[in-house]
A and B are shown apart, each in its own frame.
Chain A
Amino acid sequence: MSPYLRVFTRGGFALALCVALAACGSSGSGSSGSSSTPGVTATSVTIGSHQPLTGVAAPGYDEIAPASKAFFAYINANGGINGRKINYIYKDDAYDPTQTVSVVKSLVLQTGVFGIFNGLGTPTHTKVVSFLNANKVPDLFVASGCLCWNEPTTAPYTFGWQTDYTREGKILGQYIAQHFAGKKVGYFLQDDDFGMNGEKGLDDEIPASSVVSRQFYQPGNIAVGPQIAALKAAGVQVLVNFTVPAYTALEELTAFKLGFHPQVVTSNVGSDPLTLAALLASYSKGAAGGSLINGMISDTYLPPFSETGNAWVQLFTKVHAQYDASAPLDGNVEYGMAAAYTFVAALKAAGKNLTRQSIVNAVQTANLAGPGLVPYAYSPTDHSGFIGVQLSTISDNAVHPFGTPLTTDDGTGPITPYTTPQPTPSSTGVLP
C-alpha cells in the first residue's frame, strides 16, 4: 500500500501518453532536411501523390500512377535528370477528400517529399491546395480539369495539366450546337466543381433553350436510376456526361435498361473505351461490353494509342512493354506517362540547383513542350495546362480523333483550330 505506488498508478496514463508520443516523435523527426530543399539530394528527388487506388474512381484511374512510375523508372534507367533519380511515392485516398487530407499531410510533413505530382481528383485535391501553398510545396500537374488549379495569385505553387473542363465543355458544346441544332440536350454531371466547370463551358455554346434537363450524381452513391429516368422523361436526344468512368458505365447501362438511346457525348476523363468496356462487362456480369459505347462522342488532347505511327505513342508503348506490361494499353496508362513526361521536362528545365521555387519558375517560363496535340498555357499569370482538345468518336474499343485540334480559353473567347505539328520526343524521352 505504498502511497508512491498508488500515485504511480494514477500517473500511469500520463506516462503511457509520454511514452507513446515519444515513440512517434522520434520516428517522425529527421525526415525534413534542415536548410536544403526537402526531398532533394544530389542523386535523387522524391515526389508524392494521392491516387484513387480503391473506391468509386479506382476503375481505370488506378492505372495512372503505376504508369507514371514506369515512365520514371525508364528515365532513371537512362541516368535520371540532372544526375537525380526520381522516386515516386503514391498513396491511396480512395477518392475520399478526408483521406486526401491525411495522405497529403503525411507525405509533406512526415515523408518530406519535394512536391506533390499529379494528385488525382477535383473533390479530393481542392482540399489540400491551401495547405500545399501555405507550405510552399510545388503542386504540379493536378490530375483534374478543374479551373481551381489556375489561381496563380492565391495558389502560386499549384499547376493544372489536362485540358480544363470549361475549355473542354466549350469545344464539346460548340460541336453539339453545330451538329445537333434543335435537338433536346440533357446533362449528367458530377455534383462538384468537375461537373460545374464542364456545365459552364457547355452553357457558353449550347443555347439555354435546348437544355431540357440537368441531372447530378454524388460520387459514392451508385443509384443513378432516378437521374437517367428524368433525362429520358425530358425527351433528351443528346446526353452530355461529365462523369468519371464508373458513372459513364452506370449511365450507359441504366439508359440501356430503360430503352433510352440518346446520342451520348462524354468528357475525356470518363470516356476511355477499354476502361468502360471492362466496367460495363463487370457491372452487367458479362451481358454488356464495349459495343454499348460505339458511336459515343468524346475528345482527346493526347494522340491515342490507335495512332501507332505517332512518335509519342511509340515511346509510351516501348516504356509500357518494358516497365508496365501488366496494365492494358489504354488512355489511363498514356495519361500517367504523359504527365510523368511533363514532370521530367520541368525537372530538366529547373536545372541542377533544384529548389521548390526553381521548378515553379521552370514550369512558368520554360515553354514546356510535350505529347499534347495542343500546347500548354503555362506562364507566370496562367497555371492551366493544355488549352484545347481534338474531338473524337469511340468505336471498337478505340478512340478515333477527327477534325483538327481546337484551342480556346476558359472565358468567353473564341474557339480556334490549332495546326502546328506536335513536337517529337528524343530517344530518351526528354526533348533536347
Chain B
Amino acid sequence: MTELSSAPAGDNLSASPPTGTAAATPAPPRRRVRDSALIRHLAITALAGVVLWLLSLWLTPFNDLRLANGAYYFVTLAGLTLLTGLSGQISLGQGGLVAAGAYTSALLMANNHWALIPALVASVVVASLVGGLLGIAAARLRGPYLAGATLAFALALPGITDRFAGTFGGENGITTNAPVPPTSLGANFSPERWQAWIACLAALVVLLLLLNLSRAGTGRTLRAVRDDEVAASLCGINVARTQVSAFVVSAACAGVGGALYVEISNLAAPDAFAVTLSLSLLAGVVLGGLGSLAGAVYGSIVLVLLPNWSTDLANDLSLNQQVSSNLPLAFYGLVLIIAMLAAPRGIQGVVLTVTRWLRSLRAGPPDTLTPAASTPGRIDTDTSTGGEG
C-alpha cells in the first residue's frame, strides 16, 4: 500500500456485508479500521481461508491436488514478487532456493523421520541461509549481472545432487511418505484434500506475514531503496543490508514452497527444480502482476492451469511426440510475449485498469482524484504504479 490515506475498509477479499457497511460509515470508524492494519490483514487471511476451505470441500481429489500446487506456487511467487517488485532486485535463481527447501524437508523426513512442521521450519531456515549468502553476493550486483549470477545459481544447484548422489539420491531423488489425514476426519477423507489443507494453511500464514511486512516500515524501506538508492541512503537506510534482507525473506518463502512441494509430491528430485522452474516462476510473477500479492495469486493460478491447457492443446493437435512435448514450453513463451505487449503490468494491471474505468463511468469526468495513492487493489505497489491514475 502506497499510503493508507484513502483506504477505507482495507484489502478485503470480497464485498462482504461488514466491509460494505464499514466503508459506507463516516470518518471516525474509517479511521479506526484504517489504523489497525493487523486486524484488516487478519480478516483478509481468515476470509481467504474460508474461501479455500469451502473450495477444498467441493473440489474433486485431483483438483484438490491442483489447489495444493497453487498454494505451493503462491508462496514461492509471493517471495519473488516481494524481492523483484518491492526491493527491485531480479532473481532467476528462485528455483534453486525452492530446491534447498525441498531437499531439507525430504532429507529430514526420509532419513530422520521428522514431522512435517519441524521439517518445514528447517526448510525455511536452510533456504534463508542460502538466500542470505546469495543476497550478499547479489547486493553488489545490478541488472543483468544480478540476473546472470542468480541464473548460474539455479543452474548449478541441481548438479550438486548428482555430484553427491550418496546424500541427495542423484536423479532418483529422495522419496517421503504422503501425509496421512488424521483418523478423526473419517476413513474416506481424501489424502489430496488433506494435502491441500496443509498447503493452503501454510500459504495463508505466508500471506499474513507478507501483508504485514509490506505495510510496515520494512516495506517502506524496501520501496525507498528500490526507487532511489542514493536518496534512501541519504535518509539513513543501509541499502546493502536492506537488499540482503529482501533476499532472505524471499528465500524463506521459497523454503516454505520447497517444503510444500515435498508435502504434495512426496519427492525431491533434481528435475523438479531445473532452471525451467526458476524461469516459469519469474514468468508467473510477471503474468500475475509484478509487485503485488494479488498478482502472486493470479500468477499461481496461471502456473497451475496453463501447463494443463497447453498439454491438452498439444494432444488435441496430435502432433509428433518430439514436437508436442515441447509445445507447452513454447505456448508458455507465447503467452508471456502477448502479455508483455498487451498487458505489461500483468493480470493485476488489467484488473486495476478495468475497475478504474468502471469507476470513472460511475463518477463522471471530474473524477481526477484517484492518484496512485488510491489504488486499493494493490496490496503494495510496483514501479509502474506511478504512471497510472
* B230 beta carbon closer than 8 Å to chain A: no
A74 to B325, CA, bound (A): 28
A110 to B359, CA, bound (A): 42
> Which stretch, A20-28, A178-186, A321-329, touches the partner chain B?
A20-28
Q: Evaluate contact between A21 and B175: CB separation under 8 angstroms.
A: no
> Which stretch, A89-97, A365-373, A389-397, A398-406, touches the partner chain B?
A89-97
Of A31, A32, A109, A134, most buried by chain B (CB within 10 Å of CB) is A109
Known contacts A5-B362, A192-B171, then 4 further A-B pairs from the complex at CB < 8 Å, ordered by chain A residue: A5-B355, A9-B355, A99-B271, A218-B165
Q: In terms of DSSP, what is the predominant structure of the interface of chain B?
A: helix
Q: List, in ascending order, chain A residues with CB within 8 A of B165's CB.
A: 191, 216, 218
Of the candidates A3, A92, A130, the one whose C-beta lies within 8 Å of that of B178 is A130
Q: Which chain B residues numbered 165 to 181 have a C-beta less than 8 Å away from chain A?
A: 165, 170-173, 175, 177-178
Of the candidates A4, A109, A110, the one whose C-beta lies within 8 Å of that of B20 is A4
> Which stretch, A11-19, A164-172, A279-287, A301-309, touches the partner chain B?
A11-19
Q: Evaluate contact between B175 and A127: CB separation under 8 angstroms.
A: yes
A317 to B62, CA, bound (A): 40
Q: List, in ascending order, chain A residues with CB within 8 A of B305's CB.
A: 20, 24
Q: List, in ascending order, chain B residues with CB within 8 A of A127's CB.
A: 173, 175, 266-267, 269
* Chain B residues near A (Cβ < 8 Å): 8-15, 19-20, 23-24, 47-48, 51, 55, 58-63, 65-67, 162, 165, 170-173, 175, 177-178, 191-192, 265-267, 269, 271-272, 294, 297-298, 301, 305, 308, 321-322, 325, 347-348, 351-352, 355, 358-359, 362-363, 367, 369-370, 374, 376-377
State the Cβ distance, B167 to closest chain A Cβ, in Å: 13
Q: Say whether, besides A16-B301, A28-B60, A218-B162, A97 and B172 are in contact (CB < 8 Å).
A: yes
Q: List 23 A-B contacts (CB under 8 A).
A: A1-B369, A7-B9, A9-B352, A9-B376, A10-B12, A11-B14, A12-B377, A14-B47, A14-B51, A16-B298, A17-B51, A17-B297, A20-B301, A25-B59, A96-B271, A98-B173, A98-B271, A98-B272, A109-B62, A127-B267, A216-B165, A218-B170, A221-B162
Q: List, in ascending order, chain A residues with CB within 8 A of B177's CB.
A: 130
Of the candidates A10, A25, A101, A218, the one whose C-beta lies within 8 Å of that of B11 is A10
Q: List, in ascending order, chain B residues with CB within 8 A of A8's CB.
A: 15, 355
Q: List, in ascending order, chain A residues with CB within 8 A of B322's CB.
A: 54
Q: Evaluate contact between B359 and A7: CB separation under 8 angstroms.
A: no
Q: Say whether, besides A1-B363, A54-B322, A130-B178, A12 and B61 are in contact (CB < 8 Å).
A: no
Of the candidates A53, A102, A216, the one whose C-beta lies within 8 Å of that of B321 is A53
State the Cβ distance, B76 to closest chain A Cβ, in Å: 16
Q: Evaluate contact between B172 and A11: CB separation under 8 angstroms.
A: no
Q: Evaluate contact between A13 and B60: CB separation under 8 angstroms.
A: no
State the Cβ distance, B320 to closest chain A Cβ, in Å: 10
Q: List, in ascending order, chain B residues with CB within 8 A of A105's CB.
A: 62, 65
Q: Which chain A residues numbered 61 to 111 have a C-beta less than 8 Å away from chain B?
A: 62, 92, 94, 96-99, 101-102, 105-106, 109-110
Q: Evaluate contact between B265 and A11: CB separation under 8 angstroms.
A: no
Of the candidates A9, A18, A109, the one whose C-beta lies within 8 Å of that of B60 is A109
- 6 closest residue pairs by CB, A with B: A109-B62, A3-B23, A14-B13, A11-B14, A98-B272, A9-B355
Of A11, A94, A220, most buried by chain B (CB within 10 Å of CB) is A11
A97 to B172, CA, bound (A): 7
Q: Evaluate contact between B271 and A7: CB separation under 8 angstroms.
A: no
Q: Evaluate contact between B14 and A21: CB separation under 8 angstroms.
A: no
Q: Evaluate contact between B297 and A13: CB separation under 8 angstroms.
A: yes
Q: Which residue from chain A places its CB closest to the CB of B363 in the assembled complex? A: A1
Q: Evaluate contact between A191 and B267: CB separation under 8 angstroms.
A: no
Q: Evaluate contact between A219 and B8: CB separation under 8 angstroms.
A: no
A192 to B269, CA, bound (A): 13
Q: List, in ascending order, chain B residues with CB within 8 A of A10's CB.
A: 10-13, 376-377
A54 to B326, CA, bound (A): 10
Q: Evaluate contact between A15 and B359: CB separation under 8 angstroms.
A: no
Of the candidates B12, B63, B348, B352, the one whose C-beta lies within 8 Å of that of A11 is B12
Q: Which residue from chain A places its CB closest to the CB of B265 in the assembled complex? A: A101
Q: Evaluate contact between A191 and B170: CB separation under 8 angstroms.
A: yes
Q: List, in ascending order, chain A residues with CB within 8 A of B59's CB.
A: 21, 25, 28
Q: Evaluate contact between B23 and A92: CB separation under 8 angstroms.
A: no
Q: List, in ascending order, chain B residues with CB within 8 A of A15's CB.
A: 14
State the Cβ distance, A87 to closest chain B Cβ, in Å: 15
Q: List, in ascending order, chain A residues with CB within 8 A of B377's CB.
A: 9-10, 12-13
A4 to B48, CA, bound (A): 19
A247 to B301, CA, bound (A): 39
Q: Evaluate contact between B170 and A192: CB separation under 8 angstroms.
A: yes
Q: Evaluate contact between A53 and B170: CB separation under 8 angstroms.
A: no
A391 to B218, CA, bound (A): 71
Interface residues as binary, A186-228 with B (CB distance below 8 Å gives 1, 0 otherwise): 0000011100000000000000000000001011110000000
Q: Which chain A residues numbered 299 to 344 have a C-beta less than 8 Å away from chain B?
A: none
* A29 beta carbon closer than 8 Å to chain B: yes
Q: Say whether, besides A4-B20, A109-B60, A191 and B376 are in contact (CB < 8 Å).
A: no
A31 to B301, CA, bound (A): 22
Q: List, in ascending order, chain B residues with CB within 8 A of A28's CB.
A: 59-60, 62-63
A31 to B60, CA, bound (A): 9
A7 to B15, CA, bound (A): 6
State the Cβ distance, B212 to closest chain A Cβ, in Å: 17
Q: List, in ascending order, chain B residues with CB within 8 A of A131's CB.
A: 178, 266
State the Cβ distance, B77 to closest chain A Cβ, in Å: 13
Q: Evaluate contact between A98 and B369: CB separation under 8 angstroms.
A: no
Q: Say whether, besides A9-B351, A15-B14, A2 and B359 are in contact (CB < 8 Å).
A: yes
A34 to B174, CA, bound (A): 35
* A364 beta carbon closer than 8 Å to chain B: no
* A257 beta carbon closer than 8 Å to chain B: no
* A422 beta carbon closer than 8 Å to chain B: no
A105 to B376, CA, bound (A): 40
Q: List, in ascending order, chain A residues with CB within 8 A of B369's CB.
A: 1
* A262 beta carbon closer than 8 Å to chain B: no
Of the candidates B12, B62, B355, the one whose C-beta lies within 8 Å of that of A110 is B62
Of the candidates B23, B55, B65, B297, the one whose C-beta lies within 8 Å of that of A6 is B23
A239 to B235, CA, bound (A): 70
* A138 beta carbon closer than 8 Å to chain B: no
Q: Which residue from chain B places its CB closest to the CB of A100 in the assembled complex? A: B267
Q: Which residue from chain B places its CB closest to the CB of A55 in the assembled complex? A: B325
Q: List, in ascending order, chain A residues with CB within 8 A of B265's CB.
A: 98, 101-102
Q: Evaluate contact between B15 and A101: CB separation under 8 angstroms.
A: no
A53 to B191, CA, bound (A): 30
Q: Evaluate contact between A17 and B301: CB separation under 8 angstroms.
A: yes
State the Cβ distance, A152 to closest chain B Cβ, in Å: 19
